[in-house]
Amino acid sequence: MKGYLKFNRGELLNKAKEDVEFDVLIIGGGATGLGIAIDSATRGYKTLLLEQLDFAKGTSSRSTKLVHGGVRYLAQANISLVREALKERGLLEKNAPHLVQNKTFLIPNYTWWEGPYYTLGLKTYDFLAGNLSLGASKHVSKKETIRKLKSIKKDKLKGSVSYQDGQFDDSRLAVNMAQTAIEQGATLLNYFKVGNLTKDDDQKVKGVEATDMETQEKYSFKSKVVINATGVFTDDILQMDKPGAKKRIQPSQGVHLVFDRSFLPGKDAMMIPKTSDGRVLFAVPWHDKVIVGTTDVQVDNHDVEPLAKEEEVDFILETFNRFIKKKVSRDDVKSIYAGLRPLVAPEDENGSTKEISRGHKIFVSDSGVISVTGGKWTTYRKIAEDSVDKLISIGKLPNKKCATQDLPIHGSVETHNVDDHLYVYGSDKPKLQELIDKDPDLGEKIHPKLDYLKVEVLWAARNEMARTVEDVLARRVRVLFLDAKSSIEMAPEVAKIMAKELNKDDEWQKQQIAEFTALAKGYLIDN
Ligand SMILES: Cc1cc2nc3c(=O)[nH]c(=O)nc-3n(C[C@H](O)[C@H](O)[C@H](O)COP(=O)(O)OP(=O)(O)OC[C@H]3O[C@@H](n4cnc5c(N)ncnc54)[C@H](O)[C@@H]3O)c2cc1C
């Protein structure tokens, strides 16, 4: 651990102000930017990351929560993409075991040929994982399938094929990655929006102008390299770089619905490999609920709070209902969330758009800005390694080797019990327990129906750079994504605990509650 500063915004801002020039400045604090910050800092480059809102506020908190090779890319014979992701899946399970779980997925079969067909495909998946396999796939009898997926429709069911993949908590991993980057010597700031790029006389980028969104104060930071890791906002930064630049990103929206676990009891997940329109749909137990999704619809605009389309909701309800006995309806939706995939439309020699790529892309603009986009959460480490290697190969940074393959992520702990509510804190868990021992009130629940404790709010504000009620309820604990109505009921108590810790007044509390309530209503479904 190098020069460890606390994960404290005030201290980190002071450090950022002191540094005359950084080696690497990253715009965007999602999976891509955070991964690059870790990679860059561990190689010893002086690194600054600026995130306009909260870490993982964008796409990186809105995933299906799978650490996977991508079974569907196998069906498209995209072997290298799957092999790379399976390797990264294994590394992530090793380096962040407190947040990644090995999960069994069952593909139900309704015709005689589906069993052998999927068994064969999944044997290839196992083979590609090599010694980082999470367990062998196998054929499962009808009786056993019904025992494992208690809510599945039995009519015409022949059996299923099971395979193993990873599941994780995306925004908690993002927070732990931010902590890891800081422990490695990087400086990271949330609520810092980049508004412009600064250039030298040769029109080469030499830094950024950014605004502290809490105080509206303006800052200018110098850096040898500027990386654009802004996901679906990539084109906005490219416009700052060169007004009128051609659009590179084609956002694709994915929606998830969250239901009570009674709709899919048990530990195992269900994978529907071919929906009526040829997509893949997952129903995955996550924390105490089940997530069902996702859709994949091209959209023309991008927003930090994308909204689900009616047809996406209907599609998920209709598809899930075809497979389960107990019918779900709009009334059963506990939360609905949408996320945008930053897909890249590469160009052929004639400048026309070819088929959209699912892999990551790194491109360098004339001014020297490096944009990194596409790919998956699962492959964030490899995306970061490739990005920094690219900077070295074009002579922007001195050659130093990547050192993240065996780097534990903050919180990493060998064994944990997922039935213990505080397991997500990993190696930090005893510190939360110490706080409760000193002040037993912190061990009280915030909401009588849910397991979240007051200490988690204090911990998030003190040690995880949570600045708003939304940061706590959406991304430090995941209530907004799991049960939007209850999250609204929790907001006043969360605001109270945060106000005490962050030294804020009653007016701040009132405003926070109002802002969070307005936002959380977007996660409730209209009936
Ligand atoms: C519906 C859906 C499901 C998915 N499921 C999975 C899955 O199960 N497993 C998996 O491996 N992958 C999954 N993915 C893919 C994965 O989530 C993304 O590849 C990944 O999160 C992209 O991260 P990112 O950092 O590139 O983008 P983002 O997370 O969007 O981060 C970009 C950040 O840049 C910030 N920013 C923008 N402009 C500025 C500015 N001017 N100044 C400062 N900051 C700025 C934004 O606020 C944002 O936080 C899924 C994607 C979607 C859409």
CB 81 within 8 A of CB 220: no
Minimum CA distance residue for ligand 1 atom 9: 66
**Ligand 1, atom nearest to 256 Cα:** 1
Question: Alpha-carbon distance 25 to 502, whole Å?
Answer: 28
How much distance in Å is there from the Cα of 129 to the middle of ligand 1?
A: 25
CB 397 within 8 A of CB 391: yes
**Mutate which of 27, 60, 295 to test ligand 1's pocket (most atoms within 8 Å of Cβ)?**
60
Helix, strand, coil: what percent of the chain each, to 5? 40, 25, 35
Minimum CA distance residue for ligand 1 atom 3: 63
Minimum CA distance residue for ligand 1 atom 2: 63
Question: Alpha-carbon distance 329 to 394, whole Å?
Answer: 54
**Mutate which of 51, 59, 307 to test ligand 1's pocket (most atoms within 8 Å of Cβ)?**
59
DSSP assignment of 313-380, as one string? Answer: HHHHHHHHHTTBSSPP-GGG-SEEEEEEEEEE--B-TTS-B-SPBSSEEEEE-TT--EEEEES-STTH
How much distance in Å is there from the Cα of 31 to the middle of ligand 1?
A: 6
Please give the biggest Cα pair distance in the chain.
Answer: 72
Pocket of ligand 1 (CB under 6 A): 27-33, 50-53, 57-60, 62-66, 68, 193-194, 229-231, 233, 254, 294, 339-342, 373, 375-378
**Mutate which of 233, 234, 279, 297 to test ligand 1's pocket (most atoms within 8 Å of Cβ)?**
233
How much distance in Å is there from the Cα of 350 to the middle of ligand 1?
A: 30
**Ligand 1, atom nearest to 54 Cα:** 49
**Mutate which of 55, 63, 361, 470 to test ligand 1's pocket (most atoms within 8 Å of Cβ)?**
63
How much distance in Å is there from the Cα of 358 to the middle of ligand 1?
A: 13
Dihedrals phi, psi of 345, to nearest 5 degrees? -100, 100
How much distance in Å is there from the Cα of 329 to the middle of ligand 1?
A: 29
How much distance in Å is there from the Cα of 57 to the middle of ligand 1?
A: 8
Q: How far is CA 330 from CA 33, 55, 294, 314, 338, in A?
A: 36, 31, 16, 9, 16
Report the predicted TM-score, pTM, of the whole model to 2 decimal places. Answer: 0.96
Question: Alpha-carbon distance 269 to 148, whole Å?
Answer: 9
Q: What is the pLDDT along the chain (527 residues), one digit of tens a residue?
A: 554 557 889 999 999 998 889 999 999 999 999 999 999 999 999 999 999 999 999 999 999 999 998 887 777 778 888 999 999 999 999 999 999 999 999 999 998 888 888 888 898 888 899 888 899 999 999 999 999 999 999 999 999 999 999 999 999 999 999 999 999 999 999 999 999 999 999 999 999 999 999 999 999 999 999 999 999 999 999 999 999 998 889 899 999 999 999 999 999 999 998 887 778 899 999 999 999 998 888 898 899 999 999 999 999 999 999 999 999 999 999 999 999 998 877 565 444 444 455 688 999 999 999 999 988 999 999 999 999 999 999 999 999 999 999 999 999 998 778 889 999 999 999 999 999 999 999 999 999 999 999 999 999 999 999 999 999 999 999 999 999 999 999 999 999 999 999 999 999 999 999 999 999 999 999 76
Minimum CA distance residue for ligand 1 atom 27: 231
